Amino acid sequence: MNAIYAATVFGIIMMFAGLLTNNKKIVGALAIILMAGLTCIAGYDIMIAQLNEPQLLYNNMLKIERFSLVFNVLMIGCTFLYFLLMHKDISKVGVHQSEYFALIFFVLCGMMLLSTFNNMLMLFLGIEIISIPQYILAGSDKHNLKSSEASLKYFLMGAFSTGILLMGIALLYGATHSFNIKDFASMLHTEALNPLGLAGIIFLIVGLSFKVSAAPMHMWTPDVYDGTPTPFTAFMATVAKSAAFFAFMRLFHVALIDISVHWVMIIAIITAATLFIGNITAVFQQSVKRMLAYSSVAQAGFMLFAIVAVNAVSWHTVLIYSVAYSVATIGIFSVLVKLKDYTYDGFNGLAKKEPVLAFAATIFLFSLAGIPLTGGFMAKYYALLAVVQMQQGQFMWLVIFALLMAAISVYYYFRVITAMYFKQGDAELTTTVTATDKLLLILTCIIVLILGIAPQILLAI
C-alpha cells in the first residue's frame, strides 16, 4: 500500500509548496504531476500485490484485496482527470490554492483506508479523513455567504451522522466483542441475531446512508452541493462519494453478508426512496447545479443496487458505476464551471457559441441518463443485472421502479441539451475556452464512450 504513504506525503508537499510560491500555474502543474505520480504508484501497487490471496496489513487493520486496489487506482485516475480539467478553476476559488490541492490528496488517503479496512476503527478513521477536508473545501470561498453556510451545515450534519455511525460500531462491538469485520461474519450468524447487533446494523445503515446521501438522509446534499464552490462540488459528488460508497459496500458485503436477510429489505426501501426523491425533486429545479446535486442523489439510488444485490456481479457494479458516474459528472461540472449563469437559461445557445463544449456536455448527460454506447448505460446495465440475478427475481419491483425513475431522469438531463441546442440565446462564459480545454473534454468524451462500448477493460485490470 505504497499509495497511502504517497498520498500523505504528496499532500504535505502540496501544503508546503504554498509557502514557496503562490504562482497559480506552478501550483497547478505541481498538483497534476503529483497526482500522475500517485496514479502510477497505485498502479504499481496492483502489480506487486499477489492478487489471488488477500493480504493483511498492520495487525489485521487493513486487508488488501483485488477489488480494493482496482477501485483505488480508478478513483485516483478520476481525480487526475479532475485535476486536468479543473485545476485552473480550483486555483481561482481563493488565495490558498495549494491547500485545496493538499486537502484533496488527504481525501484520497482516507479513501484508500475505506477501500481496504478490515477493522471498524479503520472505517471510522477513513470516514473522518474524507469528511474533514470536505468540510473545509465546502467553505473555501470565504467571502461567499452561501459557501460558509454550506460548510457549517455539512459540518454539523456530518458530525451528527458520524456520531450515529460510531454508536453503530459500539453496539456491534457489544454484540460481537470485536472490531474486526471478519469476526462479525462468524459471530453474528451462529446464533439467532443479537438485538444489539441488529440495532448496530441499523445505526450503521443510517450513518453510511448519510455519507452517500441516500434518502431520507440526503437533506444536506442540495444545499451543500449548491453552496460549495463548483470545482469542489465536482469532487465531493464523485470521488469522495464513491469512496464512502465502497466502504458501505465493503462493510455489508464482506462483514455482514451472511445475515443479509436481516438488512437487505431495509436497503431496498432506502434505494427506492432515494431514487424517488432524487429524481422527482431534480425535475423541479431551476438551477443546473442544484439539479446535478439532486441527480447525484438519484445516481446514489442506482449505486445502492449493488448493495441490495448479494452476489458477485455487485462488485463489478460498484466499480463500473463509480467510474462511469464520476467521469461523466466531473465532465459536466467542468462545463458548468465555465458558465456565468447556472440556470437552464444560462445554457441557451451554447451549441452555437461553443460547439465542442456543448457536444461534450451532451455526451456526459447521455451517460448520466444511461443512453447506450456511453459508460452510464453499462453502469446501469450492471446494476440491473445484479438485482435481476437474485434468486426468484425477488426485487423485480425495485427494478421496474428504478426504470420508471430512469425515464424521469431523462427529462431533467435533456432539458440542458434542449437549452444548448434548440433555444436561442447567448450563453455567457466566465473564461475563454482554450484549445487544451477542448482537447481534454474530447478526451473525456472518448473515455465515456469507451466505457460504454467495452466496459470489460475495467474489470480486466
For residues 175 and 200, what is the distance between their CA atoms, to the nearest angstrom? 8
Report how far residue 220's alpha carbon sits from residue 205's, in angstroms, rounded to the nearest whole number: 17
Say how far apart CA 415 and CA 171 lie, in whole Å.
Answer: 47
Q: Cis peptide before 216, with omega less than 30 degrees from 0?
A: yes
User: How many angstroms separate the CA atoms of 211 and 221, rounded?
Assistant: 10
Q: Does 404 bind another protein (CB under 8 A)?
A: yes
Cβ neighbors of 460 (< 8 A, separation 6 or more) are none
Q: Is 393 in the site for another protein (CB under 8 A)?
A: yes
Pair 387, 313: CB distance under 8 Å: no
Q: Is 406 in the site for another protein (CB under 8 A)?
A: yes
* Interacting span for another protein (CB under 8 A) from 42-50, 342-350, 378-386, 431-439: 378-386
Can residue 388 be called a binding residue for another protein (CB under 8 A)?
A: yes
- Near another protein by CB under 8 A: residue from 34, 303, 384, 445: 384
Instruction: Specify which residues 180 forms β-bridges with.
Output: 119
Query: In angstroms, rounded to a whole number, what is the distance separating the alpha carbons of residues 196 and 200?
Result: 6
Kindly give, in sequence order, each residue whose CB lies less than 8 Å from that of residue 227, ignoring residues fewer than 6 positions away.
Answer: 138, 144, 146, 147, 149, 150, 151, 153
Does residue number 261 form part of the binding site for another protein (CB under 8 A)?
no
Q: Does 401 interact with another protein (rule: CB under 8 A)?
A: no
Q: Which is nearer to another protein, 173 or 421 (CB)?
A: 421
Q: Among residues 44 and 414, whose Cβ is nearest to another protein? A: 414
Stretch that binds another protein, among 17-25, 49-57, 247-255, 398-406 (CB under 8 A): 398-406
Q: Find the shortest distance in angstroms from Cβ 74 to another protein.
A: 17
Q: 214 vs 371, which CB is nearer to another protein?
A: 371
Could you tell me the smallest distance in angstroms from the CB atom of residue 418 to another protein?
6
Dihedral angle sign, alpha carbons of residues 129, 172, 315, 361: negative
Q: In this complex, which beta carbon is closest to another protein, that of residue 29 or of residue 454? A: 454
Half-sphere exposure of 170 (CA within 13 A, CB side): 6
Q: How far is the CB of 116 from another protein (least distance, A)?
A: 25
Q: Which stretch binds another protein (CB under 8 A): 20-28, 265-273, 335-343, 384-392?
A: 384-392
Q: Is 407 in the site for another protein (CB under 8 A)?
A: yes
Neighbouring C-beta atoms of residue 142, cutoff 10 Å: 13
Find the part of the chain contacting another protein (CB under 8 A) among 10-18, 57-65, 236-244, 411-419.
411-419
- Smallest gap from residue 283 Cβ to another protein (A): 11
Contact assessment for residue 117 and residue 157, using Cβ atoms and an 8 Å cutoff: no
Which uninterrupted H or E stretch holds 198?
helix 195-211
Residue span 417-436 as binding mask against another protein, x where in contact by CB under 8 A, dash where not = -x--xxx-------------
Q: What is the nearest approach in angstroms of another protein to the Cβ of residue 454?
A: 7
Contact residue for another protein among 381, 428, 438, 442 (CB under 8 A): 381
Instruction: Pick from 389, 425, 428, 433 the residue near another protein by CB under 8 A.
Output: 389
| Residue span binding another protein (CB under 8 A) among the ranges 96-104, 241-249, 429-437, 453-461 | 453-461
- Burial class from Cβ neighbours inside 10 Å (0-12, 13-18, 19+) for residue 425 reads middle
Are the beta carbons of 401 and 272 closer than 8 angstroms? Answer: yes
Residues of 178-202 as b/e, b for ≥16 C-beta within 10 angstroms?
A: ebbbeebbebbbeeeebeebbbbbb
**For strand 62-64 and strand 55-57, is the pairing parallel, antiparallel, or unpaired?**
antiparallel
Question: Least distance in Å: CB of 87 to another protein?
Answer: 31
Return the number of the residue (173 or 381) whose C-beta is nearest another protein: 381
Region 312-371 residues binding another protein, contact defined as CB under 8 A: 366, 371
Site string for another protein, 88-117 (x = CB under 8 A): ------------------------------
Tell me how far, at minimum, the Cβ of 389 lies from another protein, in Å.
5
Pick the binder of another protein from 411, 430, 439, 446 (CB under 8 A): 411
Q: Is 288 in the site for another protein (CB under 8 A)?
A: no
> If residue 55 lies in a helix (H) or strand (E), which one and from where to where?
strand 55-57
399 binds another protein (CB under 8 A): yes
For another protein, the closer CB: 103 or 365 = 365
Cα(35)–Cα(43) distance, integer angstroms: 12
Determine the Cα–Cα distance for residues 85 and 63; give it in Å rounded to an integer: 33
Task: State the residues that interact with another protein by CB under 8 A.
Answer: 366, 371-373, 381, 384-385, 388-389, 393, 396, 399-400, 403-404, 406-408, 410-411, 414, 418, 421-423, 454-456, 459
